[in-house]
Amino acid sequence: MTLGNVGSHIFFMTEKQIDTGRFDDLGIKKNFLEILKNKGFEKPTPIQHQVIPGALEGKDVVGIAQTGTGKTLAYGIPLIQLLSSQKGQGLILVPTRELAQQVADALKQIGGSLGLRIAVIIGGVSSRPQIKDLRNNPHIVIATPGRLDDLMEQRQYRLDKVSVLILDEADRMLDVGFLPQIKRIFKLAPANKQTMLFSATMPSSISSLASAFMKMPLRIEIAPQGTSAENVEQEVFVVSKPDKMRLLYSLLKTYREDTILIFSRTKHGAKRITRDINDAGHTVTEIHSNRTQGQRKASLEGFSRGRFRIMVATDIAARGIDVKQISLVINFDLPDNSEDYVHRIGRTGRAGRSGKAISFVTPSEKMDIRKIERLIRKTLPILDLPIIAREPVSNFVPDRGVPTSRQNFGGQRRRGQGQSQGQNQGRRRNFRRDRQYGRSQARGER
Residue pLDDT, tens place only, 197-232 = 998 878 888 899 999 999 999 999 876 555 566 789
Exposed e or buried b per residue across 21-43, where buried means at least 16 C-beta atoms within 10 angstroms of its C-beta: eebeebebeeebeebbeeeebee
- Asked which of 168, 195, 221 is the last residue of a domain, the reply is 221
156 and 118 in a common domain: yes
Domain assignment present for 226 = no
Residue 77 covered by a domain: yes
Same domain, residue pair 345 and 197:
no
Query: Does residue 174 lie in a domain region?
Result: yes
Residue 191, SS3 per DSSP? coil
Stretch 188-202: mean pLDDT:
92
278 with 145, same domain: the answer is no
- What is the domain range of residue 124? 2-221
134 inside domain: yes
The answer on pLDDT for 430 being more than 80 is no
Q: What percent of the chain has pLDDT over 70?
A: 79
pLDDT digits (tens, 9 = 90+) for 50-103: 999 999 999 999 998 877 788 999 999 999 999 988 889 999 999 988 899 999
Identify whether residues 237 and 213 lie together within a single domain: no
Whether 227 is in a domain gets the answer no
Q: What is the CATH number of the domain that holds 183?
A: 3.40.50.300
Going through 180-255 in order, the beta strands assigned E by DSSP cover: 194-199, 218-221, 232-238
Q: Considering 190, 221, 252, which residue would you say is the last residue of a domain?
A: 221
Q: Is residue 189 part of a domain?
A: yes
424 has a pLDDT exceeding 90: no
pLDDT at 399 over 50: no
How do residues 133-185 score in pLDDT, each as one tens digit?
A: 999 999 999 999 999 999 999 999 999 999 999 999 998 898 888 999 999 99
User: Are residues 57 and 175 part of one domain?
Assistant: yes
Q: In this structure, are 134 and 247 located in the same domain? A: no
- The strand pair at 118-121 and 232-238 is best described as unpaired
Q: 159 lies in a domain?
A: yes
Q: Is 263 part of any domain?
A: yes
Q: What is the pLDDT of residue 20?
A: 59
H helices then E strands: how many in the chain?
Answer: 15, 16
Same domain (yes/no): 313, 348: yes
Query: Confidence class of residue 283 from pLDDT cuts 50, 70 and 90?
Result: very high
**Is the same domain home to 283 and 371?**
yes
Average pLDDT over residues 405-414: 48
Whether the CB-CB separation of 326 and 345 falls below 8 Å is answered with: no
Count of domains for the chain: 2
**Does 295 or 417 have the greater pLDDT score?**
295
Domain C-terminal end among 221, 256, 275: 221
Q: What size, in residues, is the chain?
A: 446
